Amino acid sequence: MLFLRDVGSTEVGGFGLTNPQDLLFVEDFVMVQQVCSAVTVAFDDDSVAEFFDQQIDAGRRPETFGRVWIHSHPGTSAEPSNVDEETFARVFGRSDWAVMAILARGGQTYARLQYHVGPGGSLQIPVAVDWSQPFEATDWTAWQQEYVDNVRRDGPLRGGTFDKIRTSHAVTEFLTDHEWLLQTEKGMS
Amino acid sequence: MKCMYINNDGAGFADYIEIPEGTTVAQLFAQRVPGGQPSDYLIRVNRQPAVADQVLEAGDRISFTPTKIEGACPA
């Protein structure tokens, strides 16, 4: 998630895959196709549906892949916006429980658990990395490819040459945003 | 007849259900998501978008998945 937050200049989002024995322990972060800008992220509806089908085919239960919604924020604040709150209420408001987690570029985190069983309620929960659990090795190439495959940039730089240049360098070369912009300008001229 | 049904509401559901022959997508939605707005869901049958009056058949796979999942940083 840290890598995907920082690899481009856009917000990113996805779902947390959690441990069936511990539904608040996120073991993996999976992106779906999305249109992003520096300050927004919007998932593609078909891609979300396909994600659900794939997870079911993989033998997972909805409570382990469709309840922890994670996205990034630019800047230093991880506080949810009105758009975040509206999505959380509308999309996850009918689930027994769900978590909205936000990771700001500056490092601040926010996570809130809401539940609709019994009297219902909502509480902020702490976020931490559990280093005692096993984890796979770093794979920047695959992670960057995941970003390239799923993120379509919104706004004036969206699509066309910009995306092609980004894609052409995706696997072999890591570009900073500044380098990317320079190459894009060169490619467009 | 039996159909596969996937939904994230409530406790979440991904299993076979028994429904009467001739059940339409709209009828199943009304039954399974009472009070829900169809526009808040992408409704698919066998991984293809479905229309409200589509009649379900035995073995169909029906999913109601959320739409318009959007985030933004505070203004």
**pLDDT tens by residue, B20-74:** 999 999 999 999 999 899 999 999 999 999 999 999 999 999 999 999 999 998 8
The pLDDT of residue B6 is above 60: yes
Rounded CA gap, A66 and A124, in Å? 19
Q: Tell me the one-letter amino acid at A182.
A: L
The residue segments making up the domain with residue A179 are 159-189
Mean pLDDT over each residue of chain A, to the nearest integer: 85
Say whether residue A81 is in contact with chain B using an 8 A CB cutoff: yes
Q: In what order do the strands lie in the sheet with B70-72?
A: A151-153, A34-36, A40-43, B70-72
Check CB contact under 8 Å for B9 and A45.
Answer: no
- Cite the beta strand spans of A77-137 per DSSP E: 97-104, 109-115, 121-124
Cα separation, B62 vs B56, in Å, equals 9
Domain edge (last residue) among A109, A124, A139: A124
Chain A residues 37-66 with a CB less than 8 Å from chain B: 39-43, 45-46, 48-50, 52-53, 56, 61-63, 66
Residue A138 lies in a domain: no
Confidence of residue A77 (pLDDT cuts 50, 70, 90): very high
Does A93 share its domain with A163? Answer: no
Residue to test with chain B: of A57, A61, A91, A105, most B Cβ within 10 A: A91
Does A148 map to a domain? no
Residues A110, A53 within the same domain: yes
- CATH code for the domain of A25: 3.40.140.10
pLDDT of residue A180: 53
Is B75 a residue whose pLDDT tops 90?
no
Q: Which residue of B lies nearest to A69 if distances are taken between CA atoms?
A: B69
- The pLDDT tens digits for A8-20 are 989 999 999 999 9
Q: Are B42 and B49 in contact (CB under 8 A)?
A: yes
* Closest-CA residue to A48 (of A83, A13, A89, A74): A13
Neighbour-count burial of A116, counting CB atoms closer than 10 A to its CB (0-12 exposed, 13-18 middle, 19+ buried): middle
The total domain count for chain A is 2
Residues of A in contact with B67 (CB under 8 A): 45, 48, 91
Q: Are the CB atoms for B42 and A49 separated by under 8 Å?
A: yes
Whether residues A112 and A47 fall in one domain: yes
CA distance B55 to B18: 14
The arithmetic mean of pLDDT across residues A62-76, rounded, is 95
The pLDDT of A108-127, averaged and rounded, is 95
Given a cut of 90, whether residue A177 has pLDDT beyond it is: no
B26 vs A162 pLDDT, higher one = B26
Q: What is the pLDDT of residue A168?
A: 40
Taking contacts as CB-CB distances below 8 angstroms, the residues of chain A near B70 are 40-43, 83, 87
Domain annotation covers residue A55: yes
**Distance of residue B42 Cα from the nearest chain A Cα, in angstroms:** 7
Q: Which of A102, A124, A146 is the last residue of a domain?
A: A124
Say what the pLDDT of residue A186 is.
57
**Residue A107 shares a structural domain with residue A19:** yes
**Section A79-101 average pLDDT:** 95
Asked if A96 and B11 come within 8 Å (Cβ–Cβ), the reply is: yes
Q: Are residues A35 and A103 in the same domain?
A: yes
B38 touching chain A per CB within 8 A: no
* Interface contact B58, partner A, CB < 8 A: no
> Residue A131 falls within a domain, yes or no?
no
Q: What is the mean pLDDT of residues A119-144?
A: 93
Sequential DSSP letters for chain B:
-EEEEEE-SBT-EEEEEE--TT-BHHHHHHHHSTT--GGGEEEEETTEE--TTPBP-TT-EEEEEE---EEE---
Instruction: Examine the domain organization and report whether A78 and A30 are in the same domain.
Output: yes
In this prediction the ipTM stands at: 0.93
What are the structural domains, with CATH classification, of chain B? 2-66 (3.10.20.30)
